[in-house]
């Protein structure tokens, strides 16, 4: 399975690239500029060594090649990025939106949120793409810095939202391949309206305690994953 990471030169996108490639996946980094994507891929291969499969190109070419497409861009540029890749993401593809609508997009604070017109950034993204694209929202509570620090095990659960159970399970399978991460089915895509705001909560906790990688663990059972499993 080829995985595209749109905005893969940013902190979160590059961290996801490292973690997924380390798990044995072929990752294609997308950037506004093809040469920047290629440079980030070279950097990732240098960090991972061995036979790590990481390539880099433009956002459009990455989106076209990826069977699963992660979009890891700041909210301020989210709409423009989705418009730019709309024609490259065919119906049936899984798109994972990782955007949190933080108030920094309009000059506010990172621990404040704004409410997108569609209810959540993921729902707004879905409205910009072709019909039939399978939208999932995830990775709002995993810090980019933590993703990039391969020497430190991750400790957070990943809330996954979406109305397509098979698409959520496919994303969950990728999450399970990252050591110590667990995925929790948080319900329909509309639940992203709540999950996306948790980023601001963690920013506030990090700020209060002067840490960088606070997260969430859900209690109640030993394993989560698909409901009924």
pLDDT of 94-106, one tens digit each? 999 999 988 788 7
> Using one digit for the tens of pLDDT, what is the confidence trace for 132-170?
999 999 999 999 999 999 999 898 899 999 999 999 999
CA distance 71 to 135: 11
Per-residue model confidence as pLDDT tens digits over 25-37: 999 999 999 999 9
What share of the chain has pLDDT > 90, as a percent? 83
* DSSP-assigned letters across all residues of the chain: -EEEEETTTSHHHHHHHHHHHHTT-EEEEEESSHHHHHHHHHHHHHHH-TT--EEEEEHHHHHHH-SEEEE---HHHHHHHHHHHGGGS-TT-EEEE----BGGGGT--TT-B---TTSSHHHHHHHHSPTT-EEEE--SSS-HHHHH-TTS----EEEEE-S-HHHHHHHHHHHHTSTT-EEEEEESGGGHHHHTTHHHHHHHHHHHHT-S-------SSS--BSTT-
Specify the pTM.
0.95
Name the token pair of 126: 């879905």
Model pLDDT, residue 229: 65
**In Å, how far from its chain's centre is CA 80?**
17
Neighbours of 119 (CB within 10 A): 14
Residue pair 120/189 in contact by the 8 Å Cβ criterion:
yes
Q: What is the token pair recorded at 198?
A: 């948790």
Fold classification of 2-209 (topology level)? Rossmann fold (3.40.50)
What is the C-alpha separation between 120 and 193, in angstroms, rounded?
A: 5
User: Domain map of the chain by residue range?
Assistant: 2-209
Instruction: Tell me the two tokens of residue 219.
Output: 């209690």
């Amino acid at each position: 399975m080829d995985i595209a990471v749109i905005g893969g030169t940013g902190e979160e996108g590059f961290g996801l690239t490292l973690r997924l490639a380390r798990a044995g996946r072929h990752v294609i980094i997308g950037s506004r500029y093809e040469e920047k994507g290629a440079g980030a891929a070279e950097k990732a291969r240098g960090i991972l060594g061995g036979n790590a499969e990481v390539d880099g190109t433009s956002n459009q070419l990455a989106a076209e090649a990826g069977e699963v497409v992660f979009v890891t861009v700041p909210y301020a540029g989210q709409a423009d990025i989705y418009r730019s890749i709309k024609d490259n993401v065919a119906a049936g593809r899984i798109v994972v939106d990782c955007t949190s609508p933080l108030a920094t997009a309009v000059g506010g604070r990172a621990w404040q949120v704004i409410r997108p017109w569609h209810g959540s950034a993921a729902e707004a993204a879905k409205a910009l793409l072709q019909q039939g694209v399978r939208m999932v929202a995830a990775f709002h509570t995993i810090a980019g810095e933590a993703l990039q620090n391969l020497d430190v095990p991750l400790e957070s659960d990943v809330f996954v939202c979406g109305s397509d159970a098979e698409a959520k399970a496919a994303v969950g399978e990728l999450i399970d391949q990252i050591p110590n991460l667990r995925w929790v089915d948080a319900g329909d895509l509309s639940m992203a309206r709540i999950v996306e705001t948790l980023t601001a909560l963690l920013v506030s906790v990090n700020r209060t305690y002067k840490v960088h990688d606070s997260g969430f663990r859900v209690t109640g059972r030993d394993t989560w994953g698909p409901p009924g499993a």
